[in-house]
Structure 1
């Protein structure tokens, strides 16, 4: 029974080890994807005669793309680090997720959209401009930010228990064979394949 449970426990640990980076990296990629898409469409001047350029999430909140890239780097750094260093990187990753969430929130504000349109269409009357909001991309960016935040908190809370990337290459040295005390023990050691001249 114990021999059956041990492989199941090991496979569960392996799945858990790769679940965290997969979910956290997916959150970063969602923010990165959403930041490159247009969050506003069909923006027009008050007369409705001229259609204006559509700002992306990154245009409305320039912090989104850098935070997503920093989050991806943080995922790799958490896997490579150990102990306190892993927890500190996890805290920074959580801060990136929180900042990405705040950036997503501010990007959906009408005043921010109007400011961007005014800066990029100086000659158009943007005070009464109209536009359509694409809800999909802010929602995905908010979801990605939440996954980044949760991943950072998880790294702080449980990162100390996770195996590092280099753990599989670290081996415990084999104990030295006891030195034979007499001639008979010397021959027995040679029969076993041990080196009786090796020092302790």
Structure 2
């Protein structure tokens, strides 16, 4: 009975520790950051937020610059002064460009955010998503809502789909061309094969 009680207590403690160290996830589109900031904040619970932005090999395009900058700016205004925000990237570039900084220091955060437009294929061999969660866990704050807000970039997704479709079409065309080139039943191939097959007979005729 005593052993069972100890096991139950240990299980309860492990569950509590696990719950305390949990980093939640919110997935939105980059262009929806403004709406998300307006709808989800302010929040009475202290916030520890990691903004994780999907990028291509040249960072974030100028088309999405407005949504990103205005969204981050609105988020910082709606957070409590002591809430903290970090910013990182995944995809084409994988790095943390802003460490956890209090929302009250919005000028510094917005200045550091400008780095996202100049990064080029930084740490491409790393996993930006894994880096973000590891960073969030390393700076986990008990009593706060520790969260990663992952922002997907539709423009990058559509570019990838278009590129893959184009590559697939080109590959298919190349295969068809190779198949046709090696097809023995084309007229030229048929003539060559026929000539080779009757060559012994032709030689016999010449000898005679």
* TM-score normalised over the length of structure 2: 0.27
Normalized per residue, which structure has more strand?
Answer: 2
Larger C-alpha radius of gyration, 1 or 2? 2
Normalized per residue, which structure has more helix?
Answer: 1
